[in-house]
Structure 1
Amino acid sequence: MKKVLVVLAALAAFSGLAQAQETIKVLSTQELVNVCKFPASPESRSFCIGFTTAVYETYLATRHPQRAKPFICVNQPAPARDDVISDFVKFAQSNQQVADKPAAGVFLGFMAGRFPCGKK
């Protein structure tokens, strides 16, 4: 019984080591731009909208209003989603230095520039 437990523990440790060495691919800005270009297929458009919306919603949900001042302020009524995505694609294409950077961070930076918060 002890040998079985030792073998199981060794397998679990090896499995954890293998998982720790596994790299997680992060979506690059260029990959997101390739998906978000117009005209997009229904699948591409759905992915693009889902990804960009999730990044923005995560920003809204995780920013603590008392500890972190907002850096993205979208006035209502908000512009059309397709207009914002089109502007992001143009931004990324004209700033090739961000092509290999993680898409989520570049998108947040774009949003901060496109929708800056006024000083209060």
Structure 2
Amino acid sequence: MQLKHPIPLLLLAVFTIGAANAGVTEDDFVAKKTQNLINLCTASPQDPHYRDAIHFCHGYLVGAFHYYQASTADKRELKMLCAPEPKPSRNEVIDMFVSWAQQHPEYMSEMPVETEFRFLTEKWPCKKAY
């Protein structure tokens, strides 16, 4: 089988591969959108920014969660999520979040903190007794 137009197909393949391996950008570290955070959390170990990206990912997600914990510590009525016992590890939760976010492209333009808590409250909602 001979292709009638091999050049456009070749260009499409090159651009697709290039986009998939674009790597972490400086804009990702601004974290304006969920997509930026997901790019950081899924950085390839071969990416020159890998270490910074993974540390930023973990720091962002854990920091937002710790702020939530501090702001709701004595206010049961404000709790939006209730983690299971035993609690999953930080890495497990981050992996779950990344997987969930990748399955919900409709949230990739939202602020990452919004998407993080959308995931957490969907995954572990509190059961209100009243």
Aligned equivalents of 2:75 and 2:99: distance in 1?
34
The one-letter code matched in structure 2 to 1:56 is: F
Gaps of 5+ in 2: 1-29
Q: CA RMSD in A?
A: 2.1
| Aligned residues with identical type, % of pairs | 26
1:35 to 31, 40, 50: 40
Does 2:123 correspond to 1:118?
A: no
Aligned equivalents of 1:67 and 1:73: distance in 2?
10
Aligned equivalents of 2:63 and 2:110: distance in 1?
18
- Taking structure 2 as the reference length, what is the TM-score of the superposition? 0.64
Aligned pairs for 1:1-120 within 5 A: 27-37=32-42, 41-63=50-72, 65-66=74-75, 68-120=77-129
The answer to whether the 8 A contact 2:31-2:37 is kept is no
Flag the structure with more relative contact order, 1 or 2, with Cα contacts below 8 A and sequence separation at least 6: 1
Q: Which has the larger radius of gyration?
A: 1
The answer to whether the 8 A contact 1:38-1:86 is kept is no
Gaps of 5+ in 1: 1-24
- Taking structure 1 as the reference length, what is the TM-score of the superposition? 0.68
SS at match of 1:68: helix
SS at match of 2:78: coil
The answer to whether the 8 A contact 1:32-1:103 is kept is yes
The answer for the alignment partner of 2:7 in structure 1 is none
**CA apart distance, 1:67:** 7.3
Q: How many residues align?
A: 96
The answer to whether the 8 A contact 2:34-2:110 is kept is yes
The answer to whether the 8 A contact 2:37-2:57 is kept is yes
Aligned equivalents of 1:89 and 1:39: distance in 2?
14
